[in-house]
Structure 1
Amino acid sequence: MEAEDRISMIAVFIDEHIKEELTVLQLSARVGYSPGYFTRCFKRKFGISPMEYVKQRKLLAAAKEIAKGKRILDAAVDYGWETHSGFTKSFTSVFGYSPVLLRAIYVRDASVKGEKQQMEAYIKTAQVYKKPEELWQILCLTLKENKTEYNNKKLKEIYKLAKALHEGEKRKTGEDYITHPLNVAIILADMGSDENTVCAGLLHDVWLEKHKERISLEAGSVISGILLSYEKFKQTHESSDDRGVLVALSDRLHNMRTIEFVDPATWKRRAEETMRIFSPIASKCSDFRLRCELDERSVKFL
């Protein structure tokens, strides 16, 4: 078995034993490597040390339970932290905000609904084979649900522009290609992105040299600027505009949701790339669901 396959196997093992105490010695022994060699192989594959990876996976699992109503201390203890303060410090260092925020959102939602309903732990998704018109309605509904200010006429014009530029194109699923940018826009809307970022999501796959002049003219400078930052992120994985990064992350999430329809030979590579590049960047976003789902879908294909 190749070294990369052994490391992938360990990543799956970690998820299957996430509530247990895991050490480098234990993990390296499972693949027959010395701790030092195992650590180097793991870091080369995922970009972080095995123990940092274990910590992040534990925090993600705990975050998901807190979002569904579990007490912070109970989740902390379940995943190996002895104190509330220690868990909060680790959580904040990874996600950029306190676990108290997740708990507060759950309590707020339960209070508004008058019952202990679980907070949705995933970003809104739409079934494959939804027609473009159905996805358009879901997008508008999502913006309204999140109370996002938007100009329906402007959004409709951007949608028509994207649809025209994708005319005749199909996805691997057999759907009209416009369903992909619509799904990306829905993900952005569900994360609370502003109107311009959602519009950039609709146009992200037609930001090509042959279309840039038309898009700049019809969509305006703000949306074009977001698309430029998206293009820069694709090339360098860096961008000065977080909105372009969000478009890239949303694009990756929808592609991971439909990965079964592409060549199986690419699954593992895409999953590894998602965990190595996209997941750490997603941690910096204010919506933990993005990181959680990217990782869960990646581990499935390792």
Structure 2
Amino acid sequence: MDWINRLNSAINYMEEHIKNEIDMEEVGKIAGCSSYHFQRMFTYMADITLSEYIRRRRMSLAAVDLLSGEKVIDVALSYGYDSPTAFNRAFKNIHGIAPSKISEEGVNIKSYPPIHFHISIKGECEMNYRIVKKGMRTKSWT
């Protein structure tokens, strides 16, 4: 399951660089494939596109930063947004509220934790079975 370890290493790399522009070629190298194939494999395994995963992770971390008292403009710039307007739009799409409203009491925000892949293989035990045709009895019940 070395490819699962490489996949998780690539995700760890993205998490370490989540506030910067993520070098997708480097992510592919870590995973042992091209950037294109990594994105396809990620989407298949996670059932979410890689770009959407990164956006959700950034918005989750941005919400934490805003709750700790950082200014919206500073958080927007730290997560790679060129303007507060683009950040506001992305934040509202994920959390359903404007970033300026996050500190209001009773506001719910969403959290998207990091993905970690793990494969569990079942069925490694031997099974004894027999095939019985419909309507055929194998044992008398009298």
Partner of 1:21: 21
Tell me the CA shift for residue 69 of structure 1: 0.5
1:10 maps to 2:39: no
> Contact between 2:91 and 2:98, CA under 8 Å: does it hold in 1?
yes
Q: Where do 5+ consecutive residues of structure 2 fail to align? A: 119-142
Task: State the Cα deviation string for residues 91-113 of structure 1 (Å, max 9, x = none).
Answer: 1111222112114x2xx7xxxxx
Radius of gyration: which is bigger?
2
Tell me the CA shift for residue 29 of structure 1: 2.1
Partner of 1:78: 78
Aligned residue type for 1:85: T
Tell me the CA shift for residue 57 of structure 1: 1.1
Q: Name the CA shift for 1:25/1:49 in 2 (closer, same or farther; >3 Å).
A: farther
> Contact between 2:6 and 2:32, CA under 8 Å: does it hold in 1?
no
Q: Name the CA shift for 1:93/1:23 in 2 (closer, same or farther; >3 Å).
A: farther
1:54 maps to 2:54: yes
Tell me the CA shift for residue 59 of structure 1: 1.3
Tell me the CA shift for residue 27 of structure 1: 1.3
Task: State the Cα deviation string for residues 22-47 of structure 1 (Å, max 9, x = none).
Answer: 14323112222112211111111211
Q: Which of 111, 133, 140 is equivalent to 1:291? A: 111
* Percent identity between the two aligned chains: 24
Once residues 7 and 31 of structure 1 are traced to their aligned partners in structure 2, the CA distance between those partners, rounded to angstroms, is 5
Displaced runs of 4+ in structure 1, greater than 4 A?
none
Partner of 2:133: none
Task: State the Cα deviation string for residues 108-129 of structure 1 (Å, max 9, x = none).
Answer: 7xxxxxxxxxxxxxxxxxxxxx
Cα RMSD between the aligned structures? Answer: 2.3
Aligned length: 117
> Contact between 1:24 and 1:51, CA under 8 Å: does it hold in 2?
no
1:65 maps to 2:68: no
Once residues 291 and 9 of structure 1 are traced to their aligned partners in structure 2, the CA distance between those partners, rounded to angstroms, is 22
Once residues 80 and 20 of structure 2 are traced to their aligned partners in structure 1, the CA distance between those partners, rounded to angstroms, is 8
Which structure 2 residues correspond to residues 224-243 of structure 1 after superposition, within 5 A? none
Per mean C-alpha deviation after superposition, the further-off stretch among 50-59 and 80-89 is: 50-59
> Contact between 2:9 and 2:30, CA under 8 Å: does it hold in 1?
no
Once residues 75 and 85 of structure 2 are traced to their aligned partners in structure 1, the CA distance between those partners, rounded to angstroms, is 13
Partner of 1:210: none
TM-score by length of 2: 0.70
Partner of 1:40: 40
Partner of 2:100: 100
> Contact between 1:18 and 1:79, CA under 8 Å: does it hold in 2?
yes
Once residues 81 and 15 of structure 1 are traced to their aligned partners in structure 2, the CA distance between those partners, rounded to angstroms, is 17
Tell me the CA shift for residue 71 of structure 1: 0.2
TM-score by length of 1: 0.35
Structure in which a larger fraction of residues adopt helix: 1
Higher relative contact order (CA 8 A, sep 6+): 2
Tell me the CA shift for residue 84 of structure 1: 0.4
Which structure 2 residues correspond to residues 211-222 of structure 1 after superposition, within 5 A? none
